[in-house]
Amino acid sequence: MDETKTQSLEVTKKVLPIILATSIFMQMLDSTILNTSITAIAKDLHESPLEMQNAIISYVLTLALFMPVSGFLSDKFGTRKVFIAALVLFSLGSLFCALSQSLTHLVFARVIQGIGGSLMTPVGKLALIKTFPKRELLKAMNFAIIPALIGPVLGPLVGGYMVDYLSWHWIFLINIPFGIIGIVLSLKYMPDYKSPIIDFDLKGFLIFAAASLLLSISLELFGTTVRLTPVLMLLMSGLLMLYLYYRHAISDNNPIFPLNLFQVRTFRVGIIGNLATRLGYSSIPLLLPMMIQIAYGKSAVVSGWIVAPMALTAIFGKSAVIKILNTFGYRKTLMVNTFIIGIVICALAIPTIHTSIYWYIPIICVLGFFNSIQFTSMNSISIADLRNYHTSSGNSLVSVNQQLAIGFGIALGLLVLKIFQGDVKLIHNEIHNAFRYTFLIVGSLTILSGLVFRRLHLKDGDNLKSSD
């Protein structure tokens, strides 16, 4: 009997990272593929392209609202049921998106997608954390995290081809086969973890969800509006709600995100480091294709091909990261790797408008390699020392933090770009220079963010090191 259980567990360990990778790929591809298709969808639905932003914002806001509750739902109903329900919702939402006859229908369908998307990755990752011993977790997570790196790169490229050669409906229909595969595998191999202690902090959830919503709205509007005052008011309101949550968590016996999570040094450094590093990097997958299209006058497909090699080198980074972490440790790896990423981002400012765009390819290749190392290291150190009773809430908070960090990074990059665009004398009336200066700023911020990882100790993460 024990031998049968052992064999079953080994099979689960082989399949579970594939299930999580599939769900992450679906979500990351969907998050970026829509950007290249907005114009085509707007034309077909007889809407202004500017109004189509609602289809993107509705999805982001739904993620912000439901992601904090993923840990509680997993503890109460079990990881298998919640994960399968998430896949079903995401797939149904994708089908409804493809069948949409108006913007209202599309926004409604995107909300359904968002509910599924908000649960898929955190719950799948939670199952992974609870299935693998610490020394095997890095290898498993390293495999599953790759779609998070290649999805945003392939999204615009795949979206461009589908719109040009098929129709915009296929950017949503492509999710359904992945969803069906994920559901079938999950029914057989997804473990069903529950928690015996269930006490939902409704007040804390409402406060934190309000903070996430306000912050997400403000970050989305940063890139679409010229009026900064209302955006800043929303941002400040979101920060105020975070403070109110802090006050609530001090007095509540069982808050949705316990404050003593931040007493765990590796979790605290991982959360802050993730936020700080993504402030610099997150805008690059958006800014670089935008620059190639605006400054160089190339098509969306060409810009997609220029960025696409990043996905290939990310896979090479995946194969190297475990050996690097085992050799140098988390502290040294994250400090040096963050510095390298910052330098490479600054290098994007070297080519001039008269330089061939193909000079960006080697820079992008190097960036993809080191990004792969960065995000595997940051995600694994964040949960390295969490106790079992903190795993669900800590994992949910890591997911929320990543979502907001990406939003902050994109908003910051667009804001810096707008500032340089407005200074005609500085950029010599050449839009390409505005992008170059923006790369220098966000690259410098990335270099500085590496200082966060000085707070790690030399032995931190040793419990995650594998023998192979």
- Mean pLDDT on 284-307: 79
Report the pLDDT value the prediction gives residue 55, as an integer from 0 to 100.
75
Instruction: Give CA–CA dist 83/179, Å, rounded.
Output: 11
Please name the residues in contact with 156: beta carbons below 8 A apart, sequence gap of 6 or more: 32, 33, 35, 36, 289, 300, 303, 304, 307
Given a contact cutoff of 8 angstroms between Cβ atoms, the answer to whether 443 and 346 are in contact is yes
Is pLDDT of 340 > 90?
yes
| Burial of residue 356 (number of CB atoms within 10 Å: 0-12, 13-18, 19+) | exposed
Q: Which residue has the higher pLDDT, 226 or 68?
A: 68
Report the pLDDT value the prediction gives residue 447, as an integer from 0 to 100.
92
Is pLDDT of 429 > 70?
no
4 pLDDT tier (thresholds 50, 70, 90): low
User: Phi/psi at 225 (nearest 5 deg)?
Assistant: -125, 150
Is pLDDT of 1 > 50?
no
One-letter identity of residue 383: I
Alpha carbon separation from 279 to 168, 273, 347, 444 (Å, rounded): 31, 10, 17, 11
Domains of the chain, by residue range, sit at 1-199, 201-255, 261-468
Q: 387, 310, 304: which is closest to 32 by C-alpha?
A: 304
- Mean pLDDT on 352-375: 86
For 49-93, write each residue's pLDDT tens digit: 656 667 777 787 788 788 888 888 888 888 889 999 999 999 999
Q: 394, 395, 390, 404: which is closest to 63 by C-alpha?
A: 404
HSE-up (13 A, CA, CB side) for residue 419? 13
Instruction: Give CA–CA dist 267/261, Å, rounded.
Output: 7
Please name the residues in contact with 343: beta carbons below 8 A apart, sequence gap of 6 or more: 443, 447
Instruction: Give CA–CA dist 335/42, Å, rounded.
Output: 44
Is pLDDT of 342 > 90?
yes
For 265-290, write each residue's pLDDT tens digit: 888 888 888 888 888 888 887 788 77
Please name the residues in contact with 160: beta carbons below 8 A apart, sequence gap of 6 or more: 36, 299, 300, 301, 304
Tally helices (H) and strands (E) across the chain.
19, 0
Q: What is the DSSP string of 38-63?
A: HHHHHHHTT--TTTTHHHHHHHHHHH
Is pLDDT of 224 > 70?
no
- Mean pLDDT on 258-269: 84
Report the pLDDT value the prediction gives residue 86, as an integer from 0 to 100.
93
Instruction: Give CA–CA dist 416/129, Å, rounded.
Output: 38
Q: What percentage of the chain exceeds 90 in pLDDT?
A: 10
One-letter identity of residue 241: M
Is pLDDT of 2 > 60?
no
For 399-426, write each residue's pLDDT tens digit: 888 878 877 887 788 888 888 877 666 6
CATH code for the structural domain at 261-468: 1.20.1250.20
User: Phi/psi at 317 (nearest 5 deg)?
Assistant: -60, -40
Q: 384, 377, 374: which is closest to 446 by C-alpha?
A: 374
Q: Which residue has the higher pLDDT, 39 or 283?
A: 283
Given a contact cutoff of 8 angstroms between Cβ atoms, the answer to whether 417 and 441 are in contact is no
Buried b (16+ CB within 10 A) or exposed e, 86-114: bbebbbbbbbbbbebeebeebbbbbbbbb
∠143-147-151 over CA atoms, to 5°? 165
Instruction: Give CA–CA dist 304/309, Å, rounded.
Output: 9
Q: What percentage of the chain exceeds 70 in pLDDT?
A: 87
Instruction: Give CA–CA dist 449/272, Å, rounded.
Output: 9
For 164-191, write each residue's pLDDT tens digit: 777 778 878 888 888 898 899 888 888 8
Given a contact cutoff of 8 angstroms between Cβ atoms, the answer to whether 191 and 12 are in contact is yes
Give the DSSP H/E element, type plus range, for residue 176: helix 175-189
The gap from C-alpha 453 to its chain's centroid, in whole angstroms, comes to 20
Encoding tokens for residue 54?
């609602």
Report the pLDDT value the prediction gives residue 328, as an integer from 0 to 100.
87
- Looking at CATH, the fold of the domain delimited by 1-199 is given as Growth Hormone; Chain: A; (1.20.1250)
Q: 146, 103, 406, 447: which is closest to 279 by C-alpha?
A: 406
One-letter identity of residue 126: L
Is pLDDT of 138 > 80?
no
Q: Which residue has the higher pLDDT, 99 or 299?
A: 99
Average pLDDT across the chain, whole number: 81
